[in-house]
Amino acid sequence: MSMESEFLNFSADKLVQLSARIEACIDRLTAEQIWTRHSDHENAVGNLVLHLSGNLRQWVVSGAGQEPDIRRRDEEFAARGGMHATELKERLRSTVDAAVAVLRSLPASRLAEGVSIQGFDVTVLAAIYHAVEHFAMHTGQIIFATKLFTGSDLAFYAHLRNLEHGEKTP
């Protein structure tokens, strides 16, 4: 497998993995917890899900996949409820599915191509890298918030508890 194919496949796989973790978090939260903000300078889990959907669609589906940019970023942060957990999960899942389809079909030759997204002139590779890194950062925030709300171990790394010292993990 070429380095370019490895990058595209790993990026797609990482988005699938992280979105599954977000869905697992949403499933543990009440509707009130999903939309709770402790201050005006915080985002609720619901806002982060809307934001991830908008950002991923803009940077990968539109930027790399050349679909029209339909993002309304301010609305992602302005929401104070109104979407149920199932709707949030469906929006995220459909966006991730669209982004994964772009990544799995993107010709490696396009990675060095220049695109303009949010006023930034970047390569398609940089746009993908940015989007996956951004998705991972906010996934961490959602996981942290879920742990705070529920006081529970989400067990995403439970398989590491039984490893012998020196054993390698994927």
Residue with tokens 């301010």: 74
Can you read off the two tokens belonging to residue 116? 């303009």
Strands 114-117 and 120-123: antiparallel
Please give the CATH architecture assigned to the domain spanning 3-160: Up-down Bundle (1.20)
Cα–Cα distance measured from residue 112 to residue 20, given in angstroms and rounded to the nearest whole number: 30
For residues 170 and 163, give the distance between their C-alpha atoms in angstroms, rounded to a whole number. Answer: 12
Residues of the chain with pLDDT below 50 are: 167, 169
**Contact between 58 and 69 (Cβ < 8 Å):** yes
Full 3-state SS string of 114-161: EEEECCEEEEHHHHHHHHHHHHHHHHHHHHHHHHHHHCCCCCCCHHHC
pLDDT in tens, 127-167: 999 999 999 999 999 999 999 999 998 988 887 777 665 54
- Look-up of token digits 């609305």: 75
